[in-house]
Structure formats: C-alpha cells, structure tokens
Amino acid sequence: MRVSGLSSGIDYESIITKMMDAQRVPVDRLKQQQQLLEWKRDDYRALNSKILEFKNLSFDMKLPSVYGSKKATSSDENSVAATGSSTSGVGQYSIEVKKLAKAASFNTGQLGATTGGTTKLSDIGWDLGDDEVATIEINGAASSVTITKDTTINDLVSAINKKSTTSGVKVTYDATMDRMFFNSTKVGANSEIKLEIKNADGAAASQDLTNLLKMTGGTADGVMSSGAVTPTTGGFSVKGVNAEVVFNGGITQQYESNTFTIAGINFTAKNETTGAVQINVSQDIDSVVDKIKNYVEKYNALIDEVNKETSEKVQRNYKPLTDAQREEMSDEDIKRWEEKARSGMLSRDSLLNDGLTKFRRAFSDTVGGLPADQLKTLSEIGISSTNIVGSSISGSYLDKGKLYIDEDKLRKAITENPDQVAALFTKDDAATSGDGVAVKLYDQASALVKQITDKAGTVGSADSSHLIGKDNQRLSEQIALLEIRMIEMENRYYKQFTAMENYINKMNSQGSWLSQQL
C-alpha cells in the first residue's frame, strides 16, 4: 500500500496513474492487434470445418457405388425383406425359406420349485451326495460355475450369466412357469449349449443333468429346444440351426444367420415360406437424385458462407476494446461493439476467393477424356449456375456461383445414362482435366483445408504450428517487454516522488526548528 502526499500535499498517486495511462497506449494497440488476429484465426477455423465437411462429402460422391444404387422389393415383406446394393443386378429373382436360422436354445421342464427362484437346488433333486460341491461346465471348463447344497435357482442363474462373455450362453428363470430358459448368444449350426456336471474331483457326476433339469431321456412335457438334445456323460448338448433357402428355384444354400447376401442383394428372412417369394431389383433413381441434390445444396450453403465472410464490410471505426474501456461498458454494449469490431475479418481474403474460383470451375468445366458421344458437363444433366424451365429463369452473376438443378432433366439423364452420369462425378484420370467433378472438388477442398490449417491451425494446435499463431506469439513477446518497462517506469516515478517527499519533509522539519529558535 502506498500513501501519497503526506508532506507535500500532492496526490502523486493520481499523477503517476495518468502518466502510466499514457504509457499504456502502445500496449493497448498491440493487444488490439492480437485480438484481431485471434478473431481472424477463429473465423478461418469456423470456415475450415465447413470446408472439411464438404471435402468428406466429396469423397463419398466420388465413389461409383453412390450412382449404382439399386432398390429391391419383396412380394412378401412379412416373410423375406430385401434391399439392393450397387452390385445387385437389375432383374427378377425368387427365394424360398425352408428353415430359419436359430440360436442354440432350450427350456427345462417344470423344476418343482416351491418358493420360486429362492428354492435350493437340493430341494428339487440336485443331490450332491457326500461331495457337497460340484461344478457345471457351460461350453467348457473356462465357464464352469460352482454349486453347493445351499445354491438356489437364482444363484445358479446369476453365476451362469456372469460367465456369458466366455460361454456365449445366457439363462433366465421364470417363476410363473417354473422353468429355466437357456439361449446361445450366437446363431446358426455352429452355436452350441453344452452342459456337464462334475464332482469336486473333476470326474463326471453320477447324476444325469437331463434328469436334474426334468428332461428325462432328453425329452419331457413342455421341453423345447432349437435342435436335438444329445445326452453326454453327466449332461447334454444342444446345437443351433442354419437358415436354409432355395434361390431362383434350384440353388439350395445354408446360412448361419437370417441376414445374408446373394448376388449383391441383402436378404432378411423373417418366416419360413411355403413357396417362392418374388424379389424385384431395379435402379434406385430417387436415391441417386437425392444424393446429387444434397451435394449441390451443401456446395451452395458453403459458398454462401464463404461469400458472406469475404464480402463483409470492415468497420474500421470500431477497434477491439481495451480493459479500461470494458470496465466502463455494460455486457450488452460490449457485445454490440465487438460484433461490429470483428466484422470483415476475412473481407476480400485472397486464399478463400481463390478457393471458390476453383470450386466454380470444377462444376462448370468439361470433364476431359470421355468419348465424343458421352455426357461431358453438368449442365447437360440439368446442373448449372443458370436454370431455364419454360419461361422461368433462375440464377445470375449476383448469386456468385450458386448452382440450380433442373430435376426433370437430371432424373432423365440418370434413367437413360446412369454410367455416364456417374463418370461425370467419379472419373479419376492421371490428368487433372480428365477428373470428374467430385474428384476435382475433393482434391481442391483438401488443398484449401491444408492452406487454411497452415495459416490458422486447428482447435488445440500450438501457436508455433501456424502463421497466425506465430504472429500472435511475437505480439505476446512485445507486450511482455513493454509491460516490464512500464513496471520499471512506474517504480522509478514512485521513487522520484518519494524522494521529493523526503526532501520536503526535511525542509518542513528545518523550518519548524528555525521558527522555534526565532
């Protein structure tokens, strides 16, 4: 704490503060430059994330599978569902489901539990004899669970389910039905539930697990399983069932799942059929049209955003606020001021304008290297910066490259020449002039993303890794040096005024002594 003017009566604290305010002007200017750099960096990054999204979409649009979409319809969706893919052949097919794939499963007979899940195993016939301890192996020793004379049905269910990731078997107990339900987590003939009971010494128990589960001889009233119950020493096993289908009337095939692919068509079998289900595969015109429309819409949204940033007016009368100015303003006033101060950060930016120019050319240029009688420009399929439909005209130079689609013309081109439409987007040639539109745009967007990243970095990147960050570091160093000098200057001012106070204090003392002597 400093107390000023005790001897001189001068408030030199205020004088020094005002003197330092004048000295702070260069620091404030550097901080304003730093703030402008940070705003510019943030605006670059925001645009770069949108360009990156467009780049990723361009990657998808340069894949031939996008333009070869097929749709499949089933004459009996309740029994067999079908979806097409780019590799599906257009035409008529038939499929008959003889069997559905099933996971290995079975349920026990009634266990005779008197108190539901809390009934002990020993009370329903699981006599462990003198051993008092036994294990039940579920698909191998690695998933064995221990049982004792005090183990309840709920204990057994919990123990088995804890080992389900190893055994691939889960079980539930329904007290109302008084039955246990076992299910494999896998499907098909390779799925299996194998249970064996062993004594404490590891030898097969003399008891038959099928009897203990009220499955005498492997069959009993109300017992159901996915397949035949095969007795083993001290236990039994049950296997799942493969799906069995007949394709096109003469090809029989089995699958481990009810979802499978034949001839590029994806099938989902839901029910067994008594006859053939007809499958019709045709080109999915709507899907291709929607994807191209979405691509054009994303492009239009991107160039709108970039054009907005590059054409935004710079408000030169609004500088970033200093700390002192912020203290005198309300939060709402600060917000309104900074909206104007940070406008036009990317105004007339050459990097962005050059990138947009390349994007526009990619959409308008001819795709080289194609046969003479083939489609070569997007305008031939109804995509251009000017769209004329009857007496209606859309698009002008004022739209700055925005594209319009004649959907009828596009749909007609995809219907009649799907391969040619695909080539316009996907052709990948050694010469850049021979690349398709999506290929060119992917390459150009990739280059632009890298250029912006080199200039403004990404969220979390070090300042030393990009140009704006390096400028920001340089300004920080200059600000730090100036602030050190200001501290030294302020201390020097205080020392000078303190020295003055000491001299005045001495003079006052001498004056008082002289007055007393006189």
Judgement on whether residues 130 and 207 belong to the same structural domain of the protein: yes
Q: In this structure, is residue 384 part of a structural domain? A: no
Confidence at residue 380, expressed as pLDDT on a 0 to 100 scale? 92
Among residues 203, 220, 239, the one where a domain terminates is 239
Judgement on whether residues 254 and 271 belong to the same structural domain of the protein: yes
Q: In this structure, is residue 516 part of a structural domain? A: no
Euclidean distance between CA atoms 124 and 180, whole angstroms: 13
Judgement on whether residues 220 and 279 belong to the same structural domain of the protein: no
Judgement on whether residues 110 and 232 belong to the same structural domain of the protein: yes
Q: In this structure, is residue 362 part of a structural domain? A: no
Euclidean distance between CA atoms 426 and 320, whole angstroms: 47
> The domain containing residue 81 runs over which residues?
70-101+243-283
Q: Which two tokens stand for residue 352?
A: 């962005």
Residue pair 319/135 in contact (Cβ under 8 Å)? The answer is no
Q: What letter does residue 120 receive in the DSSP assignment?
A: B
Q: In this structure, is residue 181 part of a structural domain? A: yes
Euclidean distance between CA atoms 124 and 175, whole angstroms: 14
143-152, 234-243, 283-292, 390-399: segment of lowest average pLDDT: 390-399
The yes-or-no verdict on residue 187 having pLDDT over 90 is yes
Judgement on whether residues 197 and 148 belong to the same structural domain of the protein: yes
CA distances from 351 to 356, 428, 449, 462, 469 (A): 9, 26, 11, 22, 17
Euclidean distance between CA atoms 129 and 139, whole angstroms: 25
List the beta bridge partners of residue 251.
247
Q: Can you say whether the dihedral through the CA atoms of 355, 357, 360, 362 is positive or negative?
A: negative
Total number of domains in the chain: 2
Residue pair 189/240 in contact (Cβ under 8 Å)? The answer is yes
Judgement on whether residues 231 and 248 belong to the same structural domain of the protein: no
pLDDT > 70: percent of the chain: 91
- What is the pTM (predicted TM-score) of this model? 0.73
Q: In this structure, is residue 196 part of a structural domain? A: yes
Q: Output the domain CATH number for residue 235.
A: 3.30.70
Judgement on whether residues 143 and 267 belong to the same structural domain of the protein: no
The yes-or-no verdict on residue 262 having pLDDT over 50 is yes
Q: In this structure, is residue 445 part of a structural domain? A: no
pLDDT tens for each residue of 203-243: 766 666 776 677 654 455 567 788 778 877 778 889 999 99
Euclidean distance between CA atoms 9 and 195, whole angstroms: 101
pLDDT tens for each residue of 87-111: 898 999 999 999 999 999 988 888 8
Q: In this structure, is residue 194 part of a structural domain? A: yes
List the beta bridge partners of residue 71.
282
Q: Based on C-alpha coordinates, what's the Rg of the chain?
A: 41
Judgement on whether residues 122 and 235 belong to the same structural domain of the protein: yes
Residue pair 69/484 in contact (Cβ under 8 Å)? The answer is no
Judgement on whether residues 141 and 184 belong to the same structural domain of the protein: yes
Confidence at residue 218, expressed as pLDDT on a 0 to 100 scale? 46
Among residues 231, 262, 283, the one where a domain terminates is 283
Query: Going by C-beta distance under 8 Å and a sequence separation of 6 or more, which residues neighbour residue 28?
Result: 322
Judgement on whether residues 184 and 273 belong to the same structural domain of the protein: no
Q: How many CB atoms lie within 10 A of CB 417?
A: 16
Q: In this structure, is residue 513 part of a structural domain? A: no
Judgement on whether residues 122 and 175 belong to the same structural domain of the protein: yes
Query: Going by C-beta distance under 8 Å and a sequence separation of 6 or more, which residues neighbour residue 246?
Result: 95, 96, 98, 252, 276
Judgement on whether residues 149 and 261 belong to the same structural domain of the protein: no
Among residues 258, 283, 308, the one where a domain terminates is 283
Residue pair 214/220 in contact (Cβ under 8 Å)? The answer is yes
Q: Which two tokens stand for residue 493?
A: 């001012």
